Chains A and B, each alone.
Chain A
């Protein structure tokens, strides 16, 4: 079944729950996107920038040492960390910025958590000559101050958000408020597979280049499909990007790893599928961390990029239909994975995909040596050095 339907629903999730002021802009965006979807010149331009500017295709690297360590299936790493700006986020921002340009919207706004999406948006805007404003929660701006500087260097204005929990959720609120006020001149580049229709679909489509490449590469290298594809999930754009081309390959397990923070029992985490309930926020119906009266809860994760109380509606759909499974890793497990990948493979991961490392090892360990597992390494760890130093100082 092809999702979403014409109303933007993935099964019972998704939709378009926004103030009326934004409805026309979303209709217009959807219409414009449907137009470019059929326009080869748009995709040629998009692919040109992905290749020449962002550095695609990224390698699918056979992680020999990690494979030996796990003692089972061969582990391949999809190296999104090697992309320009250091993460998969650039795939989406290039696509949306090109679309905005076609729509004649020369002002871009974005929200950012870890700062990766903000940097990727600022980069695409610099490249295409668009004005750029990035909203970032005060807490995130502090823990990711290098990215704040990078965005400014790229010509973006960074607006620090001091309302609510001062993290990604509040940055999205503030970006939505800006969009409501400036909708006629502005395009909102949402950074994940979240938000009102058509964003979850559109971001998935732009990010699915990850999975398309990985599928072609694994067939070329191994002549078979993987037993499992593993990725971290906050809002879920890197996971959706690598899962999507495998959804119809039923033998491929799709495993998303949420941020378990200090442990689900502490309430200090960001595992919305594992511990949330269905709700409506930021334009979509999906799983959210909330109390019994629908108030959204404060989240916690060691990684700013996963520190979000919701998840994209297509993940909710894949979870509910049983097609994908969602587990979680705690801050501590993420740090273990962070160290492990650095030592064994010489690859320092971002804290977000570091959440998935131990899970990959576990899954591979239970499979035979003939099998193959793919791990989406969505970004590199440079941005996280200060955070990790605080936690591992003396240990390293």
Chain B
């Protein structure tokens, strides 16, 4: 398989697989509520055992996001957060956390406008390992993928409960190392109840056509939810719940939240249950 085993993301996936561990993928938005606060929050989620980090690039029109992350983007931009801040942050964190893969989560327009080549190189030079682009479906991803391949960067695609078998095959073909599976039809943000039965069914379909690991995100904010979802998948993505605590400058609350989720994932780990 192309690319697997190369670079931090490939290595991390191999490591998780070997340990039979469920991954914690953590998302935060750069510049929310301020640059310094967000940098500190990124450190917290990394110290508490984040396996893969998603660095949120603020955008004026975050259509796939719910109210919490929309607000984070808006405030970050009002604070004057620019591309250079995002890259500064990733460079700083890279010096402190050598082994954790960093995925830049951004809408497509900033990449497109700044130039695919230039953007990908900037990201690479600042310690980023790949990209997640929520408004870039497999049909439209080929230009970016070509540049990523040339630079040894990964492009992680999203799948959704509405993805048909044919679409899942297409996504599997183009995504690097893993698939980000959206847990529900909707935007990001905490949910009291997740549609687990349907998710189980859709993930079974995914497994039947794709061997790449699958991380599930959207709506997960509690340890028990993370556990339930991780039982069906290879890991969970937590965003809004962290972003919210970060926005409230509740550093201790954020630490506890990451621990709660991490603990619930570790409880599924075979080494823990020996």
Contacts and interface: CB of A to CB of B under 8 A. Distances in A.
B160 A296 contact: no
22 contacts: A16-B140, A19-B63, A19-B158, A21-B182, A22-B162, A23-B167, A24-B163, A24-B167, A169-B61, A180-B185, A180-B187, A182-B185, A183-B185, A278-B112, A281-B61, A281-B109, A283-B135, A293-B114, A294-B110, A294-B112, A295-B77, A296-B60
A172 to B, nearest CB: 8
The CB with the most chain A CB atoms within 10 A, among B66, B70, B114, is that of: B70
A164 B60 contact: yes
Interface residues of B, number: 39
B134 interface: yes
The CB with the most chain A CB atoms within 10 A, among B60, B64, B134, is that of: B60
Contact of B139 (A16, A170, A182): A16
Given A181-B185, A292-B114, 19 more contacts: A17-B136, A17-B140, A18-B137, A23-B162, A23-B167, A24-B162, A169-B61, A173-B61, A173-B62, A180-B63, A181-B186, A183-B185, A184-B185, A280-B135, A282-B61, A288-B109, A294-B112, A294-B114, A296-B61
A24 B60 contact: no
Interface in B54-112: 59-64, 66, 70, 74, 77, 82-83, 108-112
A327 interface: no
Contacts of B114: 292-294
A112 interface: no
A283 B140 CA distance: 11
The CB with the most chain B CB atoms within 10 A, among A15, A20, A163, A294, is that of: A20
Contact of B137 (A23, A277, A278, A292): A23
Nearest to B133: A17
Chain A interface: which size bin? 35 or more
Contacts of B74: 163-164
A102 to B, nearest CB: 20
Nearest to B62: A173
Given A25-B162, A293-B83, A280 B112 contact: yes
Contacts, number: 117
Nearest to A182: B185
A377 interface: no
A253 B146 CA distance: 40
A203 to B, nearest CB: 19
B224 to A, nearest CB: 23
B68 to A, nearest CB: 12
A272 to B, nearest CB: 13
Nearest to A17: B135
B237 to A, nearest CB: 14
Given A164-B61, A296-B60, A19 B113 contact: no
Nearest to B182: A21
A21 B83 contact: no
Q: Could you tell me the dominant secondary structure of chain A's interface residues?
A: mixed
Contacts of B226: none
Nearest to A288: B109
A290 interface: yes
Contacts of B61: 164, 169-170, 173, 281-282, 296
Contact of A290 (B113, B159, B162, B163): B113
Contact of B134 (A19, A183, A277, A278): A19
B162 A21 contact: yes
Given A177-B63, A296-B61, A20 B113 contact: no
B57 to A, nearest CB: 9
A59 interface: no
A58 to B, nearest CB: 35
A155 interface: no
Interface string A286-301: 0010101111100000
A18 B135 contact: yes
A201 interface: no
A177 B187 contact: yes
B227 to A, nearest CB: 25
A176 B63 contact: yes
A279 interface: yes
A7 interface: yes
A170 B162 CA distance: 25
B187 A181 contact: yes
Given A21-B185, A176-B63, A279 B164 contact: no
B171 interface: yes
Contact of A16 (B60, B70, B137): B137
A329 B74 CA distance: 31
Interface in A1-37: 7, 15-25
A279 B109 contact: yes
